[in-house]
Amino acid sequence: MSRTKADSAQKTKLDANDLPKLFQLLHSQGFTVIGPTVRDGAIVYDEIDSPADLPRGWTDEQEKGRYRLKKHDNGAYFGYAVGPHSWKQYLYPPRVQLWRMHKNGGGFELSSPDGQLKKYAFLGVRSCELHAIDILDRVLLQNGFEDPTYKIRRSESLIIVVQCTAPAATCFCSSMQTGPKAEKGFDLAMTEVIDGDSHYFVLQEGSRTGRAILQELACPEATETEIAAAEQAVAAAVECMGRTLNTHGLKEALYANREHPYWQEVGARCLNCTNCTQVCPTCFCTTVEDVTDLAGTTAERWRRWDSCFTMDFSYIHGGSVRSSAGARYRQWLTHKLASWVDQFGTFGCVGCGRCITWCPVGIDITEEARVLAADTVKQ
């Protein structure tokens, strides 16, 4: 799908009562809609069938090591920030079978997993998450390497952005220049507006596919007043951002502080639980497992998510390269905010704040980076 910057694109209005029409259109085109829904005390991404599955009337309260759902009475469908799940779970699944080998007579037959995949429409993508997908594109589709699983899932996906109007206290996307407004890279963008008794979405195309969807919906053109209200709702989100991070000179400061004693202070607090890497929308590290049945007739190779916080991740003959928690935290944060820039031309962090919220001991990437950047140890 060809996606471009769409600021000059025509904007239309979809009344909230007509939201089911969008679902019906997506289903008629063979899409499985993935979007936000309430489950297990959180807003997660899962298959949804209609607007009734959306977290209408729910918002989230987030802080260091804390996540709570809270009811609100404005009736917003998308009045929350982000939950523990990211779209990565559908584009780069936690566990993938690479091949299967079965004993056949005196030899073996090798088979690959079925290539038939669902055609996903991702509804409710935030700007920070859109940038995270762009980062995964750089890692998994460019630089001379293409991951086949990611490539086919990415090529078949339809991205419907919902502009963020309710950042959490742990969000800092404006510091990373990844939000709260999505400018490009989507098929369709929606901004939810609630003004008294009026509840509607301002829609904007971002690709030919998005334009075709708008034509099918046949929505009326949004008025200047409605467009201004949508822009104001997104602009207000910048003022509500809960965290900041000064990225100027940050890469160089982290490189200069490889031996800073503060790494061990953070390591003493870190549980090495891997929560931060599991919820991160850009972490891509994996390991490979081989399994066999007891009869010895079948063998399978699986790829699954891994984390640089585990001892096994950097294990080589003789032991783990990063044996302390401080060394493992240094690897993670320095990669996110320094060496990732050298490798892929961008930070590996999009400011979504998930790692802050879901850290059981409340380690805050913005606070740790700020301390290290402000106190450079001479090498």
Rounded CA separation 277/281 (Å): 8
What is the model's pLDDT at position 359? Answer: 97
Residue count of the chain: 379
Confidence band, pLDDT 50/70/90 cuts, at residue 215: very high
What is the model's pLDDT at position 378? Answer: 44
Residue 223 has pLDDT above 70, yes or no: yes
pLDDT tens per residue, range 1-47: 455 555 557 899 999 999 999 999 999 999 999 999 999 999 999 99
What is the model's pLDDT at position 295? Answer: 85
Rounded CA separation 99/96 (Å): 9
Q: Which residue has the tokens 């007739």?
A: 297
SS3 355: helix
pLDDT tens per residue, range 283-331: 999 999 999 999 888 999 999 999 999 988 888 887 778 889 999 999 9
Residue 92 has pLDDT above 50, yes or no: yes
Rounded CA separation 210/350 (Å): 25
What is the model's pLDDT at position 8? Answer: 56
pLDDT tens per residue, range 111-146: 877 665 889 999 999 999 999 999 999 999 987 789
* Domain range annotation of the chain: 11-92+117-239, 250-283+310-374
Rounded CA separation 138/251 (Å): 19
State the DSSP H helix or E strand holding residue 50, giving kind and residue range, or none if neither. none
Rounded CA separation 329/81 (Å): 26
Is pLDDT larger for residue 150 or for residue 321? 150
- What are the backbone angles phi and psi of residue 374, rounded to the nearest 5°? -85, -15
pLDDT tens per residue, range 179-196: 999 999 999 999 999 988
Q: Which residues contact 243 (CB under 8 A, 6 or more apart)?
A: 169, 170, 171, 172, 175, 351, 353, 356, 364, 366
Instruction: Kindly report the average pLDDT of the chain as a whole number.
Output: 92
Once rounded to an integer, what is the mean pLDDT over residues 354-378?
89
Once rounded to an integer, what is the mean pLDDT over residues 133-162?
92
Residue 242 has pLDDT above 50, yes or no: yes
Long-range residue pairs from 365-368, CB within 8 A, at least 24 positions apart, any chain: 365/245, 365/276, 365/333, 365/336, 366/172, 366/175, 366/243, 366/244, 366/245, 368/262, 368/266, 368/333
Residue 379 has pLDDT above 50, yes or no: no
pLDDT tens per residue, range 253-283: 999 999 999 999 999 999 999 999 999 999 9
